[in-house]
Structure 1
Amino acid sequence: MTRLTSTGRDALNYPDRGATLRRPLPDGYHHLHHRARVGRGREVFEAAGRAVSEFAMHRATGARVRTDGPAAPGVRVEIGLGVGPLRVTVPCEVIWVPDAPDRAGFAYGTRTGHPESGEESFLVDLAEDGTVWFEVTAFSRPAVWYTRLAGPLVPVLQRGYARLLTHHLRGLAATG
């Protein structure tokens, strides 16, 4: 079972709230699915789950993260990507968190002011064989002129960022 936030939909800039829980993802968006092995064992899973849920994974990439606490439905998050005058702050809201002993993470949706419109989930799973997996699932489309202008470059950047998150998550999970 997964909890959905009870905050108003008006802060989100897309209508398909919670859709990263379902398959197929909604039409009319670019879809991203990235899955990678992080390590093995309960300790790795717990460390990876903390790194994702407390936004340490995002911070490890150099992103600036502003939030009131760890991922929970209704928590607002602002992530600053880029450097100097090229830094873009992207406002999001945590939509759902998994409620399972062998799954950790969250999904957040884009809020008004985000250059994209959509939702992205970051999940860590502990498989029966002890393998720890990290999975990023997203659907998005441009919400402002410069992401429309960037066109096909945006999905390439999103895939690259998912790989970068995986790289840093492996390090964070290994060190506990």
Structure 2
Amino acid sequence: MGRNRHLKKRLWRWRSNPLRRHDDIVEAWIVLLMWAVVAVGGTIAGLVTSHAADEMFAAQRTERHAVRAVLLADTPSPASGGGSRDLVKAKVRWTTADGTRRTGSALVRTGKNAGSGIVVWVNTAGDLTVEPPSATEATLESDVLGLAAALALAGLAFGTGAVARYRLDRRRIDSWDTEWRVVGPSWGRKTS
């Protein structure tokens, strides 16, 4: 019985009721539309974003590849105390797939000598780039991006619904104020 009563209380705007105003019906449709956008739109936005990000990461994995490079200058020795930052920018030289020698800056571990061989990542044009995410990292990141897109759409829907309901409340209050100006003076008279 308690559950049925609670459901009736939640759905009062949809039932026929002599006290129900037009604004109540509009508010019921706004709430229904808001939840539909959150449920359906959020799901679609999350899935589309996740799929697009996953395709982008897969494209990065196919267009980027590791090549051997040679360090052109010594890197400083690691800081004492075992600091957490043991990478520095250094000049490196590598050979592209077409045999062209290229030079650029890459992050290299500290304490390396000039002439040391290192691995760098290049794109199809032979330019230095960062290592693409692994399949597991890409899946996790695309899922997080999908969730963020779904939550952003949900926040936008809730915000829009809240603004619309606020405006309806302001309109109802203004209507009550107008009605009270008409009815109020007659309530203020004293009977004798």
Shorter chain as denominator, the TM-score bin is under 0.3
Q: TM-score, normalised by structure 2?
A: 0.22
Q: Going by fraction, where is strand more abundant, 1 or 2?
A: 1
Question: Could you say which structure has the greater relative contact order, defined with CA pairs below 8 angstroms and 6 or more residues apart?
Answer: 1
Higher helix share: 2
